[in-house]
Amino acid sequence: TYNGSDQQLMIFCYECNNENYNIDITDATGRFIHHSDFTGNNVIINADQFAKGYYFIRISGNENKVTSKVLIY
């Protein structure tokens, strides 16, 4: 979910638990945009520098891998 007024990308992973996870964000062309680590099932990423467009968010951990598409407008 993107909240344009706060310029934050709030990511919720309902399949995640209290393990360590990695988030990789790429743009529609596959260009690497962001990487971060988190524990739990949600994380907030500062999206100030993200241009408008589609992005792919890949969350990976020990046993889980989830990819989702988001539109920033």
Q: Looking at residues 62-70, what average pLDDT do you find?
A: 88
Query: What are the percentages of helix, strand and coil residues in the chain, rounded to 5?
Result: 0, 60, 40
pLDDT of residue 2: 47
pTM to 2 decimals? 0.82
Among the listed residues 9, 13, 1, 27, the one whose alpha carbon sits nearest the alpha carbon of residue 60: 13
The answer to whether residue 55 scores a pLDDT higher than 70 is: yes
Angle, CA of 56, 59 and 65, to the nearest 5° = 110
Instruction: Assign 3 a pLDDT band (cuts: 50, 70, 90).
Output: very low
pLDDT digits over 10-29, tens only?
998 888 888 899 999 999 99
